[in-house]
A and B are shown apart, each in its own frame.
Chain A
Amino acid sequence: MRDVYVIGVGITRFGELWERSFRDIGIEAGIKAINDSGIAGDDIDALYIGNMSAGAFINQEHIGALIVDYVGFASSSHIPAVRVEAAGASGAIAFKEAYLSIASGMHDIAVVGGAEKMTDIGDEMANAIQGMVIDQEWETVFGATYASLQAMMARAHMEKYGTTREQLGMVSVINHRHGALNPDAQFQREIKLQTVLNSGYVAEPLRVFDMAPLSDGAASLVLASGDVAKKYTDNPVKVKGIGQASDTISLHDRREICTMDATVHAAKRAYERAGAKPADIDVAEVYDSSTIAEIIAIEDLGFFDKGQGGKAVEDERIALTGEIPVNTSGGLKARGHPVGATGVAQIVEIVKQLRGEADKRQVKDARLGLAHAVGGSGATAVVSILEGSQ
Chain B
Amino acid sequence: MKAGIVSYGAYVPRYRIKPEEIGKVWGEDGAARGKGLGISSKSIPSPDEDVITIAVEAARSALLRAGIDAQDIGAIYTGSESHPYAVKPTSSVVAEAILAAPDMTAADYEFACKAGTAALQNVFGLVETGWIKYGMAIGADTSQGAPGDPLEYSASAGGAAFIAGKEKIIAKINGMYSYTTDTPDFWRREGQAYPSHGGRFTGEPAYFKHVLTAARHLMELDGTEAKDYDYVVLHQPNGKFPRRAAKKLGFTDEQLNPGLLTPRIGNTYSGAVPLGLSAVFDIAKPGDRILVTSFGSGAGSDAFDISITDEMERFNRSAGPIVEDMIADAIYVDYATYVKYRKKIRRKGDAI
**B76-109: contact bitstring with A at CB < 8 Å (1 yes, 0 no)?**
0000000000000000000000000000000000
Q: Could you give 15 example pairs across A and B, Cβ below 8 Å? A: A16-B200, A16-B201, A18-B201, A18-B204, A18-B205, A19-B205, A119-B201, A122-B196, A122-B198, A122-B199, A123-B199, A198-B29, A198-B32, A200-B28, A200-B29
**B188-212: contact bitstring with A at CB < 8 Å (1 yes, 0 no)?**
0000000010111100110000000
Within 8 A of A (CB), among B171-199: 196, 198-199
CA gap between A122 and B201 in the complex, in Å: 9
Q: Which of chain A's residues has its CB closest to B200's CB?
A: A16
Q: SS class of chain A's interface: helix, strand, loop or mixed?
A: loop
Residues of chain A lying within 8 A (CB to CB) of residue B28 = 200
Write the nearest CB–CB distance from A199 to chain B, whole angstroms: 9
CA gap between A387 and B32 in the complex, in Å: 47
Residue count of chain B within 8 Å CB distance of chain A: 10
Q: How many A-B residue pairs have CB under 8 A?
A: 15
Residue count of chain A within 8 Å CB distance of chain B: 8
Write the nearest CB–CB distance from B210 to chain A, whole angstroms: 14
Residues of chain B lying within 8 A (CB to CB) of residue A16 = 200-201
CA gap between A19 and B204 in the complex, in Å: 11
Write the nearest CB–CB distance from B54 to chain A, whole angstroms: 30
CA gap between A39 and B29 in the complex, in Å: 55
CA gap between A198 and B36 in the complex, in Å: 12
Within 8 A of B (CB), among A19-37: 19
Within 8 A of B (CB), among A172-198: 198
CA gap between A18 and B199 in the complex, in Å: 13
CA gap between A16 and B200 in the complex, in Å: 9
* A19, A123, A198 pick with most chain B CB within 10 angstroms: A123
Q: Which of chain A's residues has its CB closest to B198's CB?
A: A122
Write the nearest CB–CB distance from B19 to chain A, whole angstroms: 14
Residues of chain A lying within 8 A (CB to CB) of residue B204 = 18
Residues of chain B lying within 8 A (CB to CB) of residue A198 = 29, 32
Residues of chain B lying within 8 A (CB to CB) of residue A123 = 199
CA gap between A19 and B32 in the complex, in Å: 31
Residues of chain A lying within 8 A (CB to CB) of residue B205 = 18-19
Write the nearest CB–CB distance from B189 to chain A, whole angstroms: 14
Residues of chain A lying within 8 A (CB to CB) of residue B200 = 16
Residues of chain B lying within 8 A (CB to CB) of residue A200 = 28-29
Beyond known contacts A122-B198, A122-B199, A123-B199: 12 more, CB 8 A cutoff: A16-B200, A16-B201, A18-B201, A18-B204, A18-B205, A19-B205, A119-B201, A122-B196, A198-B29, A198-B32, A200-B28, A200-B29
Q: Which of chain B's residues has its CB closest to A123's CB?
A: B199
Write the nearest CB–CB distance from A137 to chain B, whole angstroms: 28
Residues of chain A lying within 8 A (CB to CB) of residue B29 = 198, 200
* B28, B29, B198, B204 pick with most chain A CB within 10 angstroms: B198
Residues of chain A lying within 8 A (CB to CB) of residue B32 = 198
CA gap between A198 and B31 in the complex, in Å: 12
CA gap between A119 and B203 in the complex, in Å: 14
Residues of chain A lying within 8 A (CB to CB) of residue B201 = 16, 18, 119
Q: Which of chain A's residues has its CB closest to B197's CB?
A: A122
Write the nearest CB–CB distance from B271 to chain A, whole angstroms: 26
Write the nearest CB–CB distance from B318 to chain A, whole angstroms: 47
Write the nearest CB–CB distance from B51 to chain A, whole angstroms: 27
Residues of chain B lying within 8 A (CB to CB) of residue A122 = 196, 198-199
